[in-house]
Amino acid sequence: MSVLLEVKNLKKYFDTKKGPLHAVDDISFKINKGETLGLVGESGCGKSTTGRVVLKLIKATGGEVLFSEGRETKDVIKLNKKETLKFRENAQIVFQDPFASLNPRMTVSQIIAEPLIINKTHGNDKFERAKRVKELMSIVGLAERLENTYPHELDGGRRQRIGIARALALNPSFIVQDEPVSALDVSIQAQILNLMQELQAEFGLTYLFISHDLGVIKHMSNNIAVMYLGKIVEMGDYKSIFKSPEHPYTKALLSAIPIPNVDIVRERILLEGDVPSPISPPPGCRFYGRCFQRSDSCKDIDPELTQMPSGVSVACHKAGKQ
């Protein structure tokens, strides 16, 4: 299977008065065409920043973001303005907050039509543009009668469907899903997730799915990357990650997933200590202060992401030795 997106040694540091904040610190991953990579971790670990840097919504500090379009592969970070606009046709984003990401002064049809107007996909043909908007509304399950309504008149689920329709407007091949259901009621979350899977199957879409919810990640992803304090600490296919996690942080996250069976009791792993500051991360393993498997070597030596015999890649000195 061919690779659509390859990220190499990606870094994003934000300048602060106390020094550079290491939001994303030297991460690498690949996403195959038509598949989903789930990026999971606690709030503040750098997940959303990764998604925005990949789409060039935020300027990278270093690294490469290689995007394959047809037979041509380009580094997104090095694209000029004209090339970036072309890239936008192939790569879109669905934001976390379905209300804040929509212009409250625009109607549903105007919001969905906006990328068509900006990219001049139908020239000045208003009829064809309106036809495309209605088609998109139908695809995401929005009734045609809602085309002249405003976002505040709709519930969260319909607002997110507007965001999805807008993302699909230019027929992209790649979409970053940034916590797309975390702001929705549980009853609506399943509908939106199922819609995304249906759209992926129908249009051959590739997703970078960002979430803090491992249950959602498991439902959506082919492969999973676990992120902690700006670094990927474990990565592999979802079956291996859930069945036999190697990194202690991954084990702790999985132990927190509730089991819908009162007869099954899972031992909860409670992490001690606090997450270190991303402004001055520790020299060795960043998880050292909270790890229940730590040794002296972990404090000084930063473990590299290494592939295990199981196929899972882990950044841990103890991996495969338990």
CATH of 3-314, one of 3.40.50.300, 3.40.1160.10, 3.40.50.10860, 3.40.50.1360: 3.40.50.300
- Would you kindly state where each structural domain of the chain is located, as residue ranges? 3-314
User: Cα–Cα distances in Å, from 249 out to 53, 73, 277, 306, 316?
Assistant: 25, 34, 17, 16, 10
Confidence of residue 263 (pLDDT cuts 50, 70, 90): low
Q: Read off the pLDDT band of 320 (50, 70, 90).
A: low
Q: Which residue has the tokens 């990565």?
A: 235
Whether the predicted pLDDT of 66 surpasses 60? yes
Supply the pTM of this predicted model: 0.93
Task: Give me the chain's average pLDDT, please.
Answer: 91
